[in-house]
Amino acid sequence: MSVARITAAASPLFAQLTLSGDKSVSIRRALLSLYTPDTIRLTNFGAGEDCETALRCLVSLGKRVERGEVFVTIKHRETVRKATLDCRNSGTTARLLMGVLAGRDGEWTLEGDESLSNRPMERVAQPLRTMGAQIELSPGGVLPARLIGRPLVGTDHNLTLSSAQVKSALLLAGLSANGATRVREPFPSRDHTERLLGLAQDADGWWSVDKSNVPDATLVLRGTIPGDISSAAFWAVAASLVTGSDIELKNVVLNPTRTSWIRSLKNSGADIVERVERTTAGEPAGSLHFKYGVLRPLRITTQDVPGLIDEIPALAVLAATIDGESIFENVGELRLKESDRLQAIVEGLAEMGADVSVTGQNLHVTGGKKRKGVKISPNHDHRIAMAFALAGLVAEGVTTIEQAECAAVSYPGFFADLKKMAENSVTLSE
């Protein structure tokens, strides 16, 4: 187990960074290779453990994967009709594979690590069953799951909860279903799958897909995968925490369904310059430039949440430094992530001295008080570990992050990049 010890930054943070490929985009592009026997080459594929998990599942499903410094090459090796797929900690991989495999001839078992095996899967399995999928979950509606691929029928799904993973699983299942599959959600969630499939939303908010939408993967998977926008959020927060900081990121995903956190920070007065410079791999991409500034309290609405659920731990840490009360509405979904993130945020910030509470599904953080360094045990949750490492940059004393290696789930180089910016504030040890 590695440990990171963080002390208050004595000087501004300066950096120009290029991040590895976006996790959500990388996993979706990898799984799309299952719809073609052709050789696929992905550029700037994500470096995190979740992305590696998706590639390992492809190998179990008959692909040959060759990973180089720049490219990941995926080739057809053999046709597999029965496999056990270890999704480890990757909820995206598990849920999207349910959709991919539901209509694929064969018998499949999906399993995961202890954390993933406690996350809800019925929200995906139930609508897939209405299409004819045969899915058996473990007691409590969790993994391991057993699927027997069978013919599917296109169905309408009017979702009550906005979830990109559920939506994507249904759309991917629709590629092998007879007839049209339509999906609608109450608020927009990330639309990477829709972009890959070339879908357009109709006037009533429905996304529609059928067998004719199976794309030519050799064409749609071209282009460099832009950097991870959720990883970028940590550096926006870091720049906003430490006086005088100036951090620039190049070639980042700037998909509007992923930039709610940028809009929220700008609404609070953050100095952020966002430049869309190109479209690559079907995604708008460009640069982000963050500078320190004094912020007003954050107000995250219910409609914002689907687009920034992964960034809330970092935003909550920032809110604890802003004078006044920040409100995060309807964030109960945080309890169902890799850990109970809502509990982790509340307990961690309270221990550091912040005024934090939960009313119903809403998180309230009031800043302005001095914060002290504490020991954080993130329960192997990468986003909690990274968020509280940033909190340590503006706390009195030492903030100790146990299980620091868990950052590798999404951002293996996080602590190394942080140490480059704040060398005297970061100590890493095994």
Contacts of 267 (CB under 8 A, 6+ apart): 299
**3-state DSSP call for residue 288?**
strand
> Tokens at residue 310, please?
């992964």
The letter for the amino acid at 361 is Q
Task: For residue 362, list its beta bridge partners.
Answer: 359
In angstroms, rounded to a whole number, what is the distance separating the alpha carbons of residues 224 and 393?
A: 33
In angstroms, rounded to a whole number, what is the distance separating the alpha carbons of residues 144 and 139?
A: 9
Contacts of 403 (CB under 8 A, 6+ apart): 1, 2, 377, 378, 379, 380, 385
In the chain the first and final C-alpha atoms are separated, in Å, by: 6
Q: For residue 79, with 0-12 CB atoms within 10 Å meaning exposed, 13-18 middle and 19 or more buried, which class applies?
A: exposed
Catalytic residue list contains 310: yes
In angstroms, rounded to a whole number, what is the distance separating the alpha carbons of residues 376 and 347?
A: 9
Which of 310, 323, 355, 417 is catalytic? The answer is 310
Q: Looking at residue 228, what DSSP letter applies? A: P
* Inter-residue contact 245 to 235 (CB < 8 Å): no
* Inter-residue contact 284 to 254 (CB < 8 Å): yes
In angstroms, rounded to a whole number, what is the distance separating the alpha carbons of residues 20 and 300?
A: 28
* Inter-residue contact 261 to 202 (CB < 8 Å): no
Q: For residue 91, with 0-12 CB atoms within 10 Å meaning exposed, 13-18 middle and 19 or more buried, which class applies?
A: buried
Active site residues: 310
